Structure 1
Amino acid sequence: MAKLGLFLLIVALSNQTSLACNDNKAEQLPGTRRELNDYWVDSYGFPPPSLTPLYYHEASPPEAAISYQGRSSLNQPNHKANPFKNYFINKNADGKASGRFALGGLRASLINTGLFNNRFTPANTFRPLQGLGNKTPVALNPNFDSLLTTFDGCTAPNGESGICAPGNICSLFGGRPSGSCILGKVCCINVVPSCGGTASLNNTHWQSPAVLSAPSTCTLTVKLDATFVEQKKPICQLRLDFISFTTSQPTAGTCTDTFQISGSTNTAPIICGDNNGQHMYLDVPSSLNGPTNVRLMFNFAAGTGNSPRTWNIKIAMLPCGANYLAPRDCLQYFTSATGIIRSFNWRDIAGVATRQLNNQNYNICFRTEEIDGQIANRICLTPCTITNGGDAFSITSLPGNLANSAVGTTGPNPLPPPVATVAVCLYDFLLIAQGTNPINGLVADRFCGNQLNPIPAGAAVSVTVCTRIRPFKLTYQTDNTEGAVFANNQGIIIPAFGDAGNVGFCLDFQQRIN
């Protein structure tokens, strides 16, 4: 009888373990749609809108190629190779490991914590597979791939973004736990507070070190590789969120302190100044095709006074084929029906100091949204409300016409000859294709001056400007100087007056259906 009772106990335990593993497999291997929804909620704090595509189209299977939006789902990598190949300790200047973890005790910690212990609810202390990881090689474990589902995004109680991981694994990566995830995991916050570090975890925060000297350079290398166990899907895009970003102001529009990016396939402009709340999308070669390094770099110049230099940049890694990728060549991407867009370094501050940055050339894109059950057919833009004496729209101006709007590329010279024609919105402008005043029907494409208004002769008041051209997109461009542009034999044949304290733009946008 004793042997029979022992046999029945073993059978019962086997069934329980099988059910637990099956339930966990269902939990860890959700459908594509559920994974995308979970990622969106964890990364941005709210569920995706009902229109999931980048530029609206009829619903289609996640695997279908969507030529209109320029993106298609890719086959996911087959993680059969040893995912711990090339793991190493990469130390920052302060000696702390960042982004990769040491191998000490890895097999037992990884298997016992990540694969077996968490097959059971946190309240269940009965763990019959507790020591199995010490006896089972990683390469022979049939459930090994389930580890790749443990690095989903999460939000800590204090609002910080991190990834879900077992506590031991969080420590191995050099992170700190803040809040909890399902199955006993923690919300692991990974912060690199130094120069010269690396990052390979989603939702890593790069923060400024306590002490910075000038002149100096401060860099962070983002490593993308489909063989990294923490990057469970191939990465095709990065999103940088500037939670805080303050450096010295530009001199006549040219940055002395600079922030620049290398390694992306789209070009990000050099920026400086105040950029809290701004963001950038960076296209990168698919990590499925091989490892890629993206380098973020600050260069701090000497002689810039006591300007504060602080930043906190969240780095989100976006998988190939996800429906929340930005359209190609869109540096900024907005996925709501209403909101605010600002040029880099714009602030509502009184004064005439130049805050507009030179050498800006990028696209601002908007996902077409659903409004009251209908697809938006136009987007309208209005200068922001100003409360501190700043200027909501200031891009180039003509002498004697400083307070007025301007459109087009050239206009008559307001000063005596010999030059009869001068550039208007030719070198610095905001492009709104078929930008129309809905009241009087006036239309323009290039906008500059100190008001937003398509009236040809200029006006001292801004109006709402709408466009029906879809996909909704704006293009912002400035040249390399705030000074005068002279005709020469290098291809510049239309001169332009020097600019006077331009600050860029701040616009409210609203998608509409009429």
Structure 2
Amino acid sequence: MSGRTHSTRILAIVALFFSSYIVGIYSAARASSQLLLHHERLRSLNNNNNDTTLDALDAVESGLARNGSRNPRWFPFYTIGRFSNDICQGNNLLLGRCEINGECTDNKGVAAGSCSTITSQAVCCIYQRTCGASTTNNNTYFYNSNYPAPYAGGGRCTIVVTPPDSTICQLRIDFLALSLAPPTGDGLCTTDALTISGGASAVPTICGENSGQHVYVDFNGVSPITISVATSAGYTFNRQWQFQIRMMACSSATLAPAGCLQYHMPTSGQISSFNYVSAASSALNSIGVQGTRQLASMRYGICIRKATGMCSITYSQVSSDTYSFTMTNDVGAVDPTLLATSAVQSQDCTTDYIVIPAPTQGGANMPSDRFCGLGLVATTTAAKPFVVYSVTDANEEMDISNRGFYLSYSQNACPVL
């Protein structure tokens, strides 16, 4: 082979490589530009409080954030094709991040199917962690050892979550599964306890049955947040937990407002106190009578995002559960047919109660914004933001066989003028 022919072939190979590289860079830039344009379009719609854009906007912002950074990451040296680290759903139905298989392995993720048509190297990488772990990855799952098998108890299981940079403001923790030992009859988490520390906003200690609940925690700058589950080996119970941990960008449309431990997006749904179960507690309290299920020393806000065209919101007991508002007094001392009626509703509340700002019932203004007792009549408020405050004190002795609250809510359209 002549030197000229050899040089010509080398030049051809180099030209092919760089043309592919340039095409890849163009594709990456175009995809990034389209993602950003889509983000701005969704944000414009959301500025008009269009509820249907929230999930899509959150997904795009998560895609832009990647590990928390709003700069998309590309992999020009792994593959000729280019793709971004978008949020994906794995073949195990968990959410992950689209990554090169090697990077997923290096970061101790689990490959759960393909996530790109550009290259077979791209996998939906699921981040799953258990006791003693730390993470800077968005959308991490944290679970008990050997999950979904139950955990017998003993010791403390923790994960430390650190934001990658200052563009991340909040952590949302969804309790996909959370079953810990119940509180004492006085509402204290002395056997098992979930604690969340290190954030700029307070989270109360939680125990008992809380699958389906969630909490938001503000980051304190870039300081880590520690999620800790402490359990007692001396109490026989099938414990289980699986949390989905999501980092929320400071610019996210789904960032929880200040003072909201929980933030609900749908226009209608249910809210409940922690450890709410319709069945009574089996534990006795400190005076030897049937104890409460509601947790002591709670003080937090449950917020509902106001949807477009909605001017008020109505709260009522879940109709299928007569115990769905039992916060103070003795459940067993009341005629069961009176539960969930105005006859056992009270606004003389100083210990355990909920607060509904500027409430009305049947069109009439109520004398107080506090509600307690053993029943709640349908209550409407036009006060903004839509929020219910939950308050319990440290003494549950006289709250006999109470469950807490489990309420339906529904936003009401503005009147046509």
Q: Which TM-score applies when normalising by structure 1?
A: 0.65
**Aligned residue number for residue 242 of structure 1:** 175
* Counterpart check, 1:120 vs 2:20: no
Contact 2:262 2:303 in 1 (8 A): yes
Note the C-alpha offset of 1:204: 0.9
SS in 2 for 1:448: strand
Q: Deviations over 1:436-464 (max 9, x none)?
A: 11355545410111110xxxxxxxxxx32
Query: Which sections of structure 1, spanning at least 5 residues, go unmatched?
Result: 38-46, 57-61, 63-75, 80-109, 122-145, 227-232, 410-424, 453-462, 484-497
* Counterpart check, 1:162 vs 2:134: no
Contact 2:280 2:293 in 1 (8 A): no
Using the alignment, how far apart are the partners of 1:364 and 1:335 within structure 2?
11
Using the alignment, how far apart are the partners of 2:69 and 2:28 within structure 1?
22
Q: Deviations over 1:228-253 (max 9, x none)?
A: xxxxx731110001000001111121
* Counterpart check, 1:508 vs 2:408: yes
Note the C-alpha offset of 1:214: 4.7
Using the alignment, how far apart are the partners of 1:28 and 1:201 within structure 2?
21
* Aligned mate of 2:212, from 277, 283, 289: 277
Aligned letter for 1:315? Answer: I
**Aligned residue number for residue 44 of structure 1:** none
* Aligned mate of 1:405, from 323, 344, 348: 344
**Aligned residue number for residue 274 of structure 2:** 344
Contact 2:280 2:401 in 1 (8 A): no
Which residues in structure 2 correspond to 1:441-480 (within 5 Å)? 442=366, 444-452=368-376, 463-480=377-394
* Counterpart check, 1:261 vs 2:200: no
Task: Note closer, same or farther for the CA distance 1:200–1:10 as it changes in structure 2 (3 Å cut).
Answer: closer
SS in 1 for 2:46: coil
Task: Note closer, same or farther for the CA distance 1:381–1:118 as it changes in structure 2 (3 Å cut).
Answer: farther
**Aligned residue number for residue 199 of structure 1:** 135
Task: Note closer, same or farther for the CA distance 1:260–1:4 as it changes in structure 2 (3 Å cut).
Answer: closer
Which residues in structure 2 correspond to 1:282-297 (within 5 Å)? 282-287=217-222, 292-297=223-228
Using the alignment, how far apart are the partners of 1:157 and 1:477 within structure 2?
42
Contact 2:151 2:238 in 1 (8 A): no
Contact 1:348 1:386 in 2 (8 A): no
Contact 2:174 2:213 in 1 (8 A): yes
Q: Deviations over 1:38-89 (max 9, x none)?
A: xxxxxxxxx9995358899xxxxx9xxxxxxxxxxxxx9799xxxxxxxxxx
Aligned letter for 1:28? Answer: S
Query: Which sections of structure 2, spanning at least 5 residues, go unmatched?
Result: 52-56, 58-67, 282-289
Using the alignment, how far apart are the partners of 1:218 and 1:429 within structure 2?
33
Contact 2:352 2:392 in 1 (8 A): yes
Note the C-alpha offset of 1:501: 1.4
Q: Deviations over 1:106-142 (max 9, x none)?
A: xxxx99xx33334427xxxxxxxxxxxxxxxxxxxxx
Task: Note closer, same or farther for the CA distance 1:222–1:4 as it changes in structure 2 (3 Å cut).
Answer: closer
Note the C-alpha offset of 1:350: 5.5
**Aligned residue number for residue 21 of structure 2:** 17
SS in 2 for 1:264: coil
Contact 1:162 1:187 in 2 (8 A): yes
SS in 2 for 1:225: coil
Using the alignment, how far apart are the partners of 1:36 and 1:394 within structure 2?
46
Using the alignment, how far apart are the partners of 1:78 and 1:50 within structure 2?
20
**Aligned residue number for residue 286 of structure 2:** none
Using the alignment, how far apart are the partners of 1:254 and 1:180 within structure 2?
46
**Aligned residue number for residue 172 of structure 1:** 106
Which residues in structure 2 correspond to 1:85-484 (within 5 Å)? 114-120=75-81, 149-150=84-85, 152-182=86-116, 183-184=118-119, 185-193=122-130, 195-210=131-146, 214-226=153-165, 234-252=167-185, 253-256=187-190, 257-287=192-222, 292-304=223-235, 306-349=236-279, 354-370=292-308, 375-386=309-320, 391-397=323-329, 403=339, 404-409=343-348, 425-440=349-364, 442=366, 444-452=368-376, 463-483=377-397
Higher mean C-alpha displacement, 501-510 vs 213-222? 213-222
Using the alignment, how far apart are the partners of 1:311 and 1:507 within structure 2?
24
Using the alignment, how far apart are the partners of 1:476 and 1:272 within structure 2?
16
Contact 2:330 2:402 in 1 (8 A): no
Contact 1:430 1:477 in 2 (8 A): yes
Q: Deviations over 1:360-382 (max 9, x none)?
A: 11111111102xxxx21001111
Aligned letter for 1:432? Answer: I
Using the alignment, how far apart are the partners of 1:170 and 1:191 within structure 2?
12
SS in 1 for 2:31: helix
SS in 2 for 1:25: helix
Aligned letter for 2:324? Answer: A
SS in 1 for 2:279: coil
Task: Note closer, same or farther for the CA distance 1:279–1:327 as it changes in structure 2 (3 Å cut).
Answer: same
Task: Note closer, same or farther for the CA distance 1:320–1:442 as it changes in structure 2 (3 Å cut).
Answer: closer
Aligned letter for 1:471? Answer: P
Identity %: 28
Rg larger in 1 or in 2?
Answer: 1
SS in 1 for 2:78: helix
Using the alignment, how far apart are the partners of 1:11 and 1:192 within structure 2?
45
Contact 2:330 2:401 in 1 (8 A): no
Contact 2:25 2:76 in 1 (8 A): no
Contact 1:55 1:471 in 2 (8 A): no
Note the C-alpha offset of 1:386: 2.4
* Counterpart check, 1:51 vs 2:7: no
Note the C-alpha offset of 1:213: 5.9
Aligned letter for 2:171? Answer: L
Q: Deviations over 1:257-300 (max 9, x none)?
A: 1111111111111110111111001101233xxxx111111122
Contact 1:170 1:188 in 2 (8 A): yes
Q: State how many pairs are aligned.
A: 371
Q: How large is the RMSD of aligned CA atoms in angstroms?
A: 3.3
SS in 2 for 1:190: strand
Note the C-alpha offset of 1:29: 4.9
Task: Note closer, same or farther for the CA distance 1:443–1:248 as it changes in structure 2 (3 Å cut).
Answer: same
Contact 2:198 2:220 in 1 (8 A): no
SS in 2 for 1:344: coil
